[in-house]
Structure 1
Amino acid sequence: MRIEFADSVPSTQKVLVEGLRNGEIQPPFALVAKEQTQGIGSRNNTWSGLEGNLFFSFCMSETALPGDLKGESASIYFSMIMREVLAARGSQIWLKWPNDFYVGDKKIGGTLTTRVGEIYVCGMGINLKNAPENAGILDIDVSPSVAVGEFCKRLQTAPSWAEIFKKFESEFEKSREFITHFEGEEVALKDAKLLSDGSLDIDGRRVFSLR
């Protein structure tokens, strides 16, 4: 995967989406920015672009990913790979369903995945050095370039969704203390059943996210 670095962009994900649509970017490709002025968060919120943190997006063709990976599983899949990379360096990072990185009870980042045709575009933001009020910071010292490099190397091995899901299945228990948002509603996770595609069964209703 080709990795480019930029000093400042409005949003790494927007740059990739626009580049794919106008033919200037071809997958696999990743963009890392020192500063992001209009980062995208969950539910169309903005993501604070504080100096020293990780802001990057990458794109991959669907055919380059494992055959058992479904679209609604993509954010969990990519997030768990980053979680593995950082945990291997000693972090206690964990993934709250479906796309939020936590250390302890503090959110430190998140993942947002979209598609342009048959190409996945995934953006990640993680607080490495600084955090806004009520958020946390990654508990190990790692540079953006090292984190992204190790992530891309691991991603190229294309672990199956089944392999990733098995690891996430036990991790999901930590999410039960939280709520999530679905179709404008707050949904409690305490009694949710995690299904094999990464979606949830809550009171007979299938809840999933393409974020």
Structure 2
Amino acid sequence: MKITYLDSVDSTQTYLKNLIKNSSIELPHAVSADLQTDGLGSRNNSWIGYKGNLFLSFAIKLKDLPKDLKLESASIYFAYILKETLEKEKSNVWLKWPNDFYVGDEKIGGMITNIVSDILICGVGINLVKSPTNFNTLDIDISKSTLLNKYFKNIENFSSWKQIFRKYKLEFYRNQNFFTHNENDKISLSKAELLDDGSIEIDGERIYSLR
């Protein structure tokens, strides 16, 4: 995957979408910036950016995704591969359902996905060097170029959803003391059951990540 590195940008996702719109790149392609001034987090919240943290967006054609991957769970799939990449570098990062990166009880980053035409676009933010109040930073030192090269190499293996899900399911118990959001409702994950497609069921209601 080719990576475009920028010093500063309003949004790596907006920048990448414009590259795609202008047909000036081949896919897959990624955009990473040293500083992002107008990033988007989950539920349309802003993602506060500090210089030196990871700001990343990448695009892959839908036809190139694993055939058994439900698009509703694409964020789980790609977030888990990143989690594994960091874990191999001795990080204790784990993935809170559906796509938030945690170290211990504190959030250090997250991932969102959306579909534009026949393309999946993933946006990632991780606090590498500095975090806002009530958040934390990654627990290892790693350069962005090293991390991205290893991450995209792992992505290019294109493990099946079944392979990723099997490992993710073993760690799902870590969600029990946390919450998720379903539209505007804050919901405890203490009784959540993880289903094979990556959705969860709580009190008979099925919830998809939709991020």
TM-score range, shorter chain: over 0.9
TM-score relative to the length of structure 1: 0.97
Q: Which amino acid aligns with 2:46?
A: T
The range that moved more, 12-21 or 106-115, is 12-21
- Partner Cα distance (2:26, 2:180) in 1: 34
CA contact (8 A) 1:74 1:210 kept: no
The range that moved more, 62-71 or 85-94, is 62-71
Q: Which amino acid aligns with 1:19?
A: L
- Partner Cα distance (1:118, 1:187) in 2: 32
Alignment map for 1:79-94 (pairs within 5 Å): 79-94=79-94
Q: Which amino acid aligns with 1:203?
A: D
% same residue: 50
CA contact (8 A) 1:79 1:95 kept: yes
The range that moved more, 171-180 or 101-110, is 171-180
1:74 maps to 74
Task: Determine helix, strand or coil for the equivalent of 1:43.
Answer: helix
Whether 1:11 and 2:15 are equivalent positions in the alignment is no
Alignment map for 1:30-179 (pairs within 5 Å): 30-179=30-179
- Partner Cα distance (2:4, 2:118) in 1: 22
CA contact (8 A) 1:20 1:116 kept: no
Q: Which amino acid aligns with 2:45?
A: N
Provide structure 2 residue ranges, at least 5 long, that are not aligned to the other structure: none
CA contact (8 A) 1:95 1:101 kept: yes
Q: CA deviation at 1:85?
A: 0.5
Q: CA deviation at 1:160?
A: 0.6
Q: CA deviation at 1:14?
A: 1.5
- Partner Cα distance (1:145, 1:125) in 2: 15
Number of corresponding residues: 211
TM-score relative to the length of structure 2: 0.97
Q: CA deviation at 1:24?
A: 3.0
Q: CA deviation at 1:188?
A: 1.0
2:199 maps to 199
What is the RMSD computed on CA atoms of the aligned residues? Answer: 1.0
Q: Which amino acid aligns with 1:90?
A: K
Q: Which amino acid aligns with 1:39?
A: G
Task: Determine helix, strand or coil for the equivalent of 2:55.
Answer: strand
Provide structure 1 residue ranges, at least 5 long, that are not aligned to the other structure: none
- Partner Cα distance (1:71, 1:58) in 2: 15
Q: CA deviation at 1:25?
A: 3.5
Task: Determine helix, strand or coil for the equivalent of 1:83.
Answer: helix
Q: CA offsets per residue over residues 60-87 of structure 1, 9 Å max, x none?
A: 0112111001111100000000000000
Alignment map for 1:183-194 (pairs within 5 Å): 183-194=183-194
CA contact (8 A) 1:60 1:120 kept: yes
Q: CA deviation at 1:17?
A: 2.2
Q: CA offsets per residue over residues 9-43 of structure 1, 9 Å max, x none?
A: 11111112233234233310001100000011011
Task: Determine helix, strand or coil for the equivalent of 1:123.
Answer: strand
